[in-house]
Structure 1
Amino acid sequence: MKVGIIGLGFRLGYLGYVFKAIDEAFEVAGYVDPEPAGLATLTEKGISAGRAYATPEELIAGEKLDLLMIGSPNHMHLDHIRIGLEAGLKIFCEKPIVSTIEQSLELAALLSKHGPDRLMVGLVLRYAPLYRDLRAAQAAGTLGHVVSIEAAEHIEPYHGAFFMRDWRRYGRYAGSFMLEKCCHDLDLYNGVVGARPERVASFGGRKSFILANDPSRDGVNDLQLFHRKPSGWLGSDKVFDSDGDIIDYQVAIVEYANGVAMNFHTNLNVPDQFRRFCVIGSRGMAEGDFIRGYLDVHEVLSGRKVVEKRYAKETALSQHYGADEQMAAEIIAHVRDGGPLPVSPLDALEAGILALSMDEARMKRTVVDLRPLWDRFDEALHARAA
């Protein structure tokens, strides 16, 4: 399987290794990236990155590709997806699939013209064993009707500092932290709810990674923790005096079209991090944590624990709780045989729109009604191709 990469950053450098480990026939034919931060990963693993091309158009013209993989900064995804679709290629795009509401509507129009089947998205947690077990319990009727969800994604200070130093610190490139990092989680719970979000309120800001909290002001000079994770394009050493517009904590509440309610909390400065959820239904309750590696399901009537599963945080290949290698295997099968996938570009767009609406609510300090936006989205999605 010959693959071209647009945006050979850390993520696609790592995924290139995972895909190659799953399928020896996986071959990177060429890439486009003026600063390929992920090239070193491929080189260290003995994997060739093929030829360096100056533009996506030159890459596509110069190679016969089975798959185009997009790992460029978020604000570039739409243009790169458009180039791939117009060239008739199958495409894998890292999340978030686009970075603004307007880009979401533009991509919906593109999918109206080209169809969604040639576009795959790297919402990797859909492939996690824990999530699949949650959906299995739900499908078995153990939870009954979902009523409400409490969920959180909290990350350790070294990872939070990475966001303060990386290109993702700028909303004009990343969209926002809620979009860049938490679109995974929002997609999962959209899937559990089975309906679109309709109303959103949110609050947050930056209170941890500010100059007043710089440990060096208190004489702490060993600050390796905050530089442990390398940054790529537009990288900076500044952590507590970052020039970015990113937040470091946010809470949101969501009401879905079917009446399900959810609260979601994220924080970038949590020393004992967790990524957990509690899905409460009419007949049962499911609690789980991707980082701490458990899923427990209790029945309402008996109070019995009917599901008790434990999971490894990482496997030999996966940075995401066993999901990376599973995603690679299923993407490869899909490219070759058209096998089913657990997540679609439409799911990715809906998760992204929710994340961006959370930020709109946070910035405007108001409840955002998404229903007019969904009308615009559906109009773009179902428009006749010109």
Structure 2
Amino acid sequence: MKVGIIGLGFRLGYLGYVFKTLNEDFEIVGYCDPAPAGLPGLEEKGVSAGKAYATPQELIASEKLDLLMIGSPNHFHLEHIRLGLEAGLKVFCEKPVVTTIADSIELARLMAKFGHDRLMVGLVLRYSPLYKDLLAAQAKGTLGKVVSIEAAEHIYPYHGAFFMRDWRRYEKYSGSFMLEKCCHDLDLYNGVVGARPERVASFGGRRTFVPENDPRLSGVNDMSMFHSKPTGWMGTDKVFDSDADIIDYQVAIVEYANGVGMNFHTNLNVPDQFRRFAIMGTRATAEGDFVRGYLDVTEVLSNEKVIATKYEATELSQHYGADEQMAADIMEHVNGGAHLPVSTLNALEAGILALSMDEARVKKTVVDLRPIWDRFDEALHSTKAA
């Protein structure tokens, strides 16, 4: 499998190693990135990135590719996806797939023109053993009908500091923190609910990574923790005095079209991070945590725990055993059309939810998503050339 990469950052540098580990036939033949932060990590592991190209167009024109992988900053994704699809290539794009509602609708038009199967999106948590087991329990009817969901993703201070220092600190590049980091989670719960979000309210802002909370004001001079995760393009050393415009905490409530309600909470400054959920059904409640590695399902009437599964981290995966499964499935899909557990449509729906949460937060209002879905579906089923 011959692969080209647009945007060889840390994530695709890591995924290149995972793909190569699983299949020796995986070969990166070229890349385009003016500052490839992921290149040293690949080379340290003995994986070649092939030839460096000045532009994505030059890469695509010069190499015969089985797969084009996109890991460029988020705001470039639509442009790079379009290049790949127009060249007749199969394309893998890291999440989030696009950064605005307008780009979501434009990508829907591209899907109408080129089909849904040639674009794959790196919403890696769909591949995790925990999520697969949750969906299996739901499919068996163990949960009954889903009524409401409580969910959260909270990260360590060093990881929060990374977002304040990386290019992702600017919404014009990342889309937002909710979109960049939490689109994984929103996609998972969209999948469990089985309906589109219809109304959203949200609150949040910056209360931790602000100048008055700088530990040095309290005599703490060791700031190494806040710089332990390296940044790439547009990186800065500033943490509490960063020029970031993203939030560092946010809460949201969502009503889905089928009546299910969800609340979601994210915070960038938690000493013991977790990524947990409680899904309340008419027959049972499912509780789990991707970080702590467990899934418990307890029946309502009997109070009996009918599922109690523990998950161990794997040496290769950064995402709870999901990275290597995603790599294996993507390669099978490219080679033989195998089914994938997540689609571009899923990714766009999760992204639109995240962006609507941010609109609700900024405008301090309840956002009705139905007009957005009307425009989106019109584009998705358009017969006109994109």
TM-score over 0.5 (shorter chain): yes
Identify the residue that residue 81 of structure 1 maps to in structure 2: 81
Verify: 1:361 aligned to 2:360, yes or no.
yes
Identify the residue that residue 170 of structure 1 maps to in structure 2: 170
Letter in 2 for 1:301: L
> For residues 270 and 218 of structure 2, what CA distance do their matches in structure 1 show?
20
> For residues 189 and 285 of structure 2, what CA distance do their matches in structure 1 show?
14
Aligned pairs for 1:1-386 within 5 A:
1-312=1-312, 314-386=313-385
CA shift digits 1:172-211 (9 cap, x unpaired): 0000000000000000000000000000000000000000
Aligned residue for 2:274, secondary structure, equals: coil
Q: How far has the Cα of 1:301 moved from its partner?
A: 1.4
Gaps spanning 5+ residues in structure 1: where?
Answer: none
Q: How far has the Cα of 1:300 moved from its partner?
A: 1.1
> For residues 308 and 385 of structure 1, what CA distance do their matches in structure 2 show?
50
Letter in 2 for 1:100: T
Aligned residue for 1:330, secondary structure, equals: helix
Aligned residue for 2:247, secondary structure, equals: coil
Q: How far has the Cα of 1:102 moved from its partner?
A: 0.5
Which ranges of 4 or more aligned residues in structure 1 deviate by more than 3 Å?
Answer: none
> For residues 42 and 293 of structure 1, what CA distance do their matches in structure 2 show?
28
CA shift digits 1:310-354 (9 cap, x unpaired): 012x31210000000000000000000000000000000000000
Letter in 1 for 2:267: N
> For residues 63 and 41 of structure 2, what CA distance do their matches in structure 1 show?
22
> For residues 19 and 129 of structure 1, what CA distance do their matches in structure 2 show?
18
Q: How far has the Cα of 1:235 moved from its partner?
A: 0.2
CA shift digits 1:65-118 (9 cap, x unpaired): 000000000000000000000000000000000011110010001111111110
> For residues 301 and 332 of structure 1, what CA distance do their matches in structure 2 show?
44
Letter in 1 for 2:333: H
> For residues 132 and 192 of structure 1, what CA distance do their matches in structure 2 show?
11
> For residues 296 and 218 of structure 1, what CA distance do their matches in structure 2 show?
42
> For residues 381 and 39 of structure 1, what CA distance do their matches in structure 2 show?
37
Aligned residue for 1:184, secondary structure, equals: helix
> For residues 264 and 302 of structure 1, what CA distance do their matches in structure 2 show?
28
Aligned residue for 1:373, secondary structure, equals: helix
> For residues 24 and 279 of structure 2, what CA distance do their matches in structure 1 show?
40
Query: Normalised by the size of structure 1, how large is the TM-score?
Result: 0.99
Q: How far has the Cα of 1:244 moved from its partner?
A: 1.1
Aligned residue for 1:362, secondary structure, equals: helix
Q: CA RMSD in A?
A: 0.5
> For residues 327 and 169 of structure 2, what CA distance do their matches in structure 1 show?
28
Aligned residue for 1:182, secondary structure, equals: helix
Q: How far has the Cα of 1:288 moved from its partner?
A: 0.1
> For residues 276 and 317 of structure 1, what CA distance do their matches in structure 2 show?
22
CA shift digits 1:22-79 (9 cap, x unpaired): 1010000000000000001110010110000011110011100000000000000000
Gaps spanning 5+ residues in structure 2: where?
Answer: none
> For residues 201 and 330 of structure 2, what CA distance do their matches in structure 1 show?
35
> For residues 341 and 384 of structure 2, what CA distance do their matches in structure 1 show?
27
> For residues 101 and 232 of structure 1, what CA distance do their matches in structure 2 show?
27
Q: How far has the Cα of 1:385 moved from its partner?
A: 3.0
